[in-house]
């Protein structure tokens, strides 16, 4: 019986306070049941694609999807931690003389775009890679690569799949139309509610307590605590305290 991992993200890699990923682990038999329940609930509510806002609005109908057997793992990083890092390559780029162009503003725009691209590569090959590696360690500690498959909602970084393969994930599919994959829709709901809970949203608190908390995997595991703070040592005591709201 194959294990399926669905994942979605909340937040931007270079903007905002948090970048969050949810990981849903479910076996294929339970997923078939969950899929049917999501399709039925969509029909009942007229919802075409299940997102966190639609879930919140139609909570009484959609909360039944949490009755199935699956586990949730959350990884959280902070873009500000990435921006505080000192990367020599950025300094070197700023030193490089670009080809002479009459419009000085255009030169600066080119330099800005090059710097942005380099920062994006660094984030996803450093921070995002840690998100992925920690998910594998927590969710699949002993499974063989052929025993599971990852389904990931279309990510911000197009080479995401290549990074995942470097982390040992053999089978992975990037999903363009999340409305056709209830597992991705569920990951979006979980990720969104975790993000809203951190912002002290009352509805998200209720959803977390009634639906998500009981599904959280290894909350007290020393190696991969859940939620999992990426590069834990970079978090200040104040930041850790702000996120100590899940247990």
Q: Can you give the residue ranges of every domain in the chain? A: 3-83+132-242
- What would be the CATH architecture of the domain defined by 3-83+132-242? 2-Layer Sandwich (3.30)
* Mean pLDDT confidence for 176-204: 96
pLDDT at res. 112: 80
* Cβ count within 10 A of residue 158: 10
pLDDT at res. 103: 59
* Mean pLDDT confidence for 8-36: 96
On the question of pLDDT at 109 being above 80, the answer is: no
The SS3 call for residue 210 is: helix
d(C-alpha 243, C-alpha 167), whole Å: 27
Cβ atoms of 122 and 87 closer than 8 Å: yes
Tokens encoding 124 = 């996803």
Tokens encoding 129 = 């890679």
The SS3 call for residue 173 is: strand
On the question of pLDDT at 88 being above 90, the answer is: no
Cβ atoms of 9 and 156 closer than 8 Å: yes
pLDDT tier at 9, thresholds 50, 70, 90? very high
Q: Global pTM? A: 0.92
- Whether the bond into 227 is cis, omega within 30 of 0: yes
* Mean pLDDT confidence for 115-134: 93
**pLDDT tens-digit profile of 135-166?**
999 998 887 877 899 999 999 999 999 999 99
* Mean pLDDT confidence for 114-140: 93
* Mean pLDDT confidence for 48-68: 96
Residues 6+ apart with CB under 8 A from 78: 17, 18, 19, 234, 235, 239
């Amino acid at each position: 019986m194959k294990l399926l991992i669905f994942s979605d993200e909340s937040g931007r890699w270079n903007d905002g306070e948090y970048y969050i990923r949810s990981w849903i682990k479910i076996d294929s038999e339970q997923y078939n049941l969950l899929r049917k329940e999501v399709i039925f609930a969509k029909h009942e509510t007229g919802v075409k694609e299940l997102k966190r806002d639609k879930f919140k609005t139609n909570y009484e109908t959609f909360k039944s999807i949490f009755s199935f057997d699956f586990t949730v793992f959350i990884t959280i990083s902070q873009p500000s931690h990435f921006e505080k890092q000192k990367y020599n390559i950025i300094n070197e780029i700023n030193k490089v003389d670009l080809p002479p162009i009459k419009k000085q503003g255009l030169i600066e725009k080119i330099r800005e775009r090059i710097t942005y691209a380099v920062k994006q590569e660094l984030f996803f090959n450093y921070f995002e890679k840690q998100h992925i590696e920690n998910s594998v360690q927590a969710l699949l500690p002993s499974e063989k690569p052929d025993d599971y498959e990852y389904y990931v909602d279309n990510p911000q970084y197009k080479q995401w799949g290549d990074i995942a393969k470097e982390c040992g994930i053999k089978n992975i599919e990037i999903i363009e139309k999340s409305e056709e994959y209830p597992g991705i829709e569920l990951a979006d709901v979980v990720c969104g509610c975790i993000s809203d809970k951190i912002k002290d949203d009352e509805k998200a608190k209720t959803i977390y307590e009634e639906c998500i908390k009981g599904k959280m995997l290894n909350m007290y595991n020393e190696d991969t605590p859940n939620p999992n703070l990426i590069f834990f040592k970079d978090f200040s005591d104040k930041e850790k305290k702000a996120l100590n709201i899940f247990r």
